[in-house]
Each structure stands twice: as structure tokens, then as C-alpha cells.
A = this chain, B = another copy of it.
Amino acid sequence: MLLGPQHVITDPDCLKRAAGATFPTANSLVAILKPASREQVQECVRVANRYGTPLYPISSGKNWGYGSRAPSADGCVLVDLGRMRTIVDFSEELAYITVEPGVTQNQVIEFLRARNSRLWIDATGSSPDCSLIGNACERGFGHTPYADHFAHTCALEVVLPTGELAHTGFGRFDNAFAAPIYRWGFGPSIDGLFSQSNLGIVTRMTFWLMPAPECFQAFFFRCGDERQLHDVIDALRRLRLGGTLRSAMHIGNDYKVLSGIQQYPWSESHGRTPLPADVMEGLRRRYNFGRWNGSGALYGTRRQVAEARRIVKAALNGKVDQLQFLDDRRIALASRFAGLYRMVTGWDLTRALELVKPVMGLMRGIPTQQPLRSVYWRRREPVPEHMDPDRDHCGLLWCGPVAPATGEHAIALARIAESTLLSYGFEPMISFTMLSERALGCVTTITYDRAVAGEDDRAMECYRALSEGFERAGYFPYRLGIQGMDRMNGNNGYNAVVRTIKNALDPNRILAPGRYDPQ
């Protein structure tokens, strides 16, 4: 037998659980295979070709809001790569790490700590147990200057849909020193084909790591209204284009922030949904956050950070309220003198620090469970210690359109998200991220309680209306979940190329049919 019996799962309950997600799913699984090596992955693929059984590979399977582990087509065998947890290569000097798909954010953090490394990863705001490869291949993002995950990788090792192995860039040469540090190699660059695709199973990948700067300082601010949001996005774009800001800035609205602090205030709202405006206003005052809440960070030498602070202050002056700079020293100080600090600044630091610490961690590449709590927003049970949104009936759908980073576009995006979600009775949780010098991502969250009858349908309708609303207005998502793979469909030259390549590389259509698969 190819894998030991304990690594081939056919128990119907297990299969059913694995085929579920944070929204309704329809496709069932035939089995779950847990290969331990690329050779076993290759063997799985060869067998699948022989029998014509489609495979659906996952890394850690924590793709919550986009489909979790659930397959994009019926009758698939799930290939769970979670056992492939080897850290294959590491260089402190050249600042990279090469990992397998089962390697998680926490595992790398521990690996680096054990070596007293000065290197950071760029973490996603999801779970510390997320796979690095899984997230990068979905082109996820984080909060340090290495925020664009896929752009900071190279040397992919890929099991092709026929079972052959391919290495990208210089990785195809056994003796190429530059394989882990130079993306392109020579000849056509094929790395991109294996992101957001069903064209291969990535079994190894090199991630570039960021050396910890001498000095790190976070900053926080608020915008009270659309005018301020408009102006601050324009200011942040200029700061990023000019190189003063190097990381993905983040601006969350009040709903987004509140859902990270507590669950839905059922009693204050007298059971009504969506959240009444006056209740929200009370909560904004209680927790002391604004309509829009921004965070970012400065990295460099002490003087570089000081100069960046000066520039940021000048650029945001008049466009934001309560601009605050925070670092470890100030936090330690503030913790000791929280009462005094409050008196002087009007800010309840003790409480704020609890909320701010995980955010500051993320800006240093330290993963946190904290944002995941928001998935339990509408649930009436308390958030369990070991969170599992799939198991716990958490309803979650994400839609993340991209726009040019201008105030005008930010407001257009926010208005579409707000009006659509409210019209379906959901709180419009919105977070803007400066994905690059020019691009603004707008992750809109639909979160609900799957245990409430009718909510699944309403949420899916809302998702569809939201996606279509964004697209009609000219905003397309940076990523798709299995709930939205039909957005790939259509007749255009790009789809013709992708279809041609799919047919050529995967003649038996073995690999993840329906996943980023234009019809």
C-alpha cells in the first residue's frame, strides 16, 4: 500500500467534516490521503491518473472564508499535505527559509527563536497554524514590508498533474547557488502559474525573510468620516510611493474592530440585527475607537524611524484624529503609568494595549489567534479556547476587491460594501489594506451564525450581490473562494491561455477541477 492505513481516511464522518466550510458546500469527498513526502504525492497523482479520480490538495486547510478544506468539485480525494512539515533549508546570512506545505507560521517562528535568528516572517492575520505555502499560493498578504507573500518566494518544487516533478527558476539546476535567492532563473518564468491555480501541487518553496530592524514603531490613528478616509488614503499612497512607508497599512471600520473585541451585543441590541446605530455609537465610545481605525509601522534605524515619524505626522496632520506612535518602550512605560497616561492623553491605554498588542505583533510578523475571534461574532455561545470555525457553525464569507489606492476609490468601495451588507441584514465589516504602493485591498467580511435557519442562504445571496456590485463598479477580487470560482468564467484571451495550459498539463483533469478553472 502506498500510504499506511492510518493515512488513508474513508470514515464518512471525517469525510463529511472535511467537505464542510464556513458556508454551505455541496461537493462530497471520496477519501482523504495524507502523504508524507513529495514521492508519495507523486505516487498519489499517478494512481489518480490511472483511475481518473480527481485530487484536491490542501496544505493546512485553514482557508476559512474561502472554502476551508472543501473541494471545488464533487467526488474528489482530498490530499492533505499537513504531514509534510520539514524545514528543508535555512540561511541567516541570505535571509531565507525553504519549507514543505505542512510547515506552519508557528513552526517557523519557533524554529527561528531556537536559533536566536534575527529574521522575521510575514504572518497572515489568520491562525498561527496556517501553512506558509498554502497562504502564499493563494497570494495572501501580511503586515510587514514583505506583505505580498507570493512576491517574496522563489524556487518552487511542484508535482505536476501527471506526477512529474518540476522546479522553477534556477531550482532546476542541482548546483545553482542562486536558486533560493533569485526569482527568475532564465527562460519563461512559470512560478505564477502555480499560484491561485489547479496546475500543480507545490511541495516545497523558498520564502525570503526580513531582517529585524534596529528600531520598530507602530502607529495608530482614526478617521471620523468619509472626508478623512478619502484624504488619508491619498496621503498614505504618497507615503508609500515615496518609500517612507514600506509596509501594508491597515484601516478597519468600527464593525471590523468591534468584532475583534467582543461578540455581538445581543442584550444591548435586544436581539435585533443588524447592529443598531445607537448601540454601535455607544460601543465606539466605550472601547474608544473610531469610525475608521488605521494602523501601520515604521522600520529602520532609530533615526530612520524618527524621520519617518516626522514625515508621517506632517502628512497625516488634519486628516486623522488621535495619531499615536507606540513601541515596546512606550508600552512598558504606559503600562506602568496607565492612569497618568489616560489623564494626559485621554486614551485608556490599559484596555487599548490589550487590543493593540496582537496588531503590533502582526506588524512584526508574529502570528496571532486574535483576529480569528471575530468569526464568532454572531454566535451566541462564547468563543471556545480552541477555535475551529468549520466545526463551530461560524458563518464566514470573504470578498476582497482591489482598487487604485486613492481616496475616491476607497469611498466607492466602502459605500458598496456598507449598502449591500446592511440591505441583507449583516454588519459591514471592512478592512482596507495598502497592498502595494498603488493598490488598495478592501476585505469585506460577511459573518453570521450558521445555526440560525435561513442565514446560510441569505449570506450566500449577499455574497453574490456584493461580488457583482463590486465588479459592476470596476473592482475585482484579489482572490476567490470556492463560493466564487464562477467569477473565473467568461470568454477572454486570458481564460483561453489558462484553459489551453490546463488541458496540456493536466489532460485527465485530475487536479482540483473547478479551482481557478475558467469554464
Contacts and interface: CB of A to CB of B under 8 A. Distances in A.
B193 A190 contact: yes
A487 interface: yes
Given A178-B404, A187-B196, A191-B192, 10 more contacts: A94-B237, A145-B243, A181-B405, A184-B195, A189-B196, A193-B497, A208-B438, A244-B300, A303-B307, A304-B304
A497 to B, nearest CB: 5
Interface stretch (A54-62, A250-258, A471-479): A471-479
Interface string A69-80: 000000000000
Interface string A461-505: 000000000010011111110000001100011111110110111
A505 B499 CA distance: 10
Contacts of A516: 186-188
A173 B402 CA distance: 13
Nearest to A165: B493
A170 interface: yes
B241 A211 contact: yes
A311 interface: yes
Contact of A501 (B95, B167, B196, B504): B504
A512 to B, nearest CB: 12
Interface in A171-214: 171-173, 175-178, 181-182, 184-197, 199, 208, 210-211, 213
Nearest to A171: B494
B301 A172 contact: no
Interface in A224-244: 237-238, 241-244
B187 A190 contact: no
Contacts of A244: 300-301, 304
Interface string A376-412: 0000000000000000000000000011111001000
Contact residues on A (Cβ < 8 Å of other chain), bracket: 35 or more
A518 interface: yes
A73 to B, nearest CB: 16
B188 A439 contact: no
* Stoichiometry, copies per complex: 2
A96 interface: yes
A83 interface: no
B213 A243 contact: yes
Nearest to A145: B243
A137 to B, nearest CB: 11
Contact of A500 (B93, B311, B493, B504): B504
A187 B493 contact: no
B177 A404 contact: yes
A436 interface: yes
A304 B301 contact: no
B182 A438 contact: yes
Nearest to A242: B211
A518 B195 CA distance: 23
A177 B408 CA distance: 12
A213 B189 contact: no
Contacts of A184: 139, 150, 192, 195-196, 478
A406 B94 contact: yes
18 contacts: A93-B406, A166-B494, A168-B494, A175-B474, A177-B404, A181-B405, A181-B438, A182-B402, A184-B196, A186-B476, A186-B477, A188-B193, A208-B437, A211-B238, A242-B300, A301-B311, A303-B307, A500-B505
